[in-house]
Structure 1
């Protein structure tokens, strides 16, 4: 049995690249290329991916009366 046997299914289907939608590659998984990987990293470093949190409370003077 050869390695390129067309009857054998891959272990898992290829996922789409989160940047461009092309099939991902093993070397830059889950992205399709080093370019898409770098684009995503740049977005993280620029602060474009933000997880929303609770509204910040404003410091207001409290009346004790």
Structure 2
């Protein structure tokens, strides 16, 4: 899987970081999403998919690798 996030549309809600902290983080300056692992291990799939669904701004996308 490949994870992407549109930082320009991110509102900094933080649900991605709470749901999948091994894949997502917020930057210290703007509080916007940073992807730590663009191609996370398969065992993170469920949390990444949940983070995608929970994102209120819909900025996270997940594609097959």
Q: TM over 0.5, yes or no? A: no
Q: Name which structure has the greater RCO, CA cutoff 8 Å, separation 6+.
A: 2
TM-score, normalised via structure 1 length? 0.26
- Report which of the two has the higher share of strand: 2
TM-score, normalised via structure 2 length? 0.26
Higher-Rg structure is 1
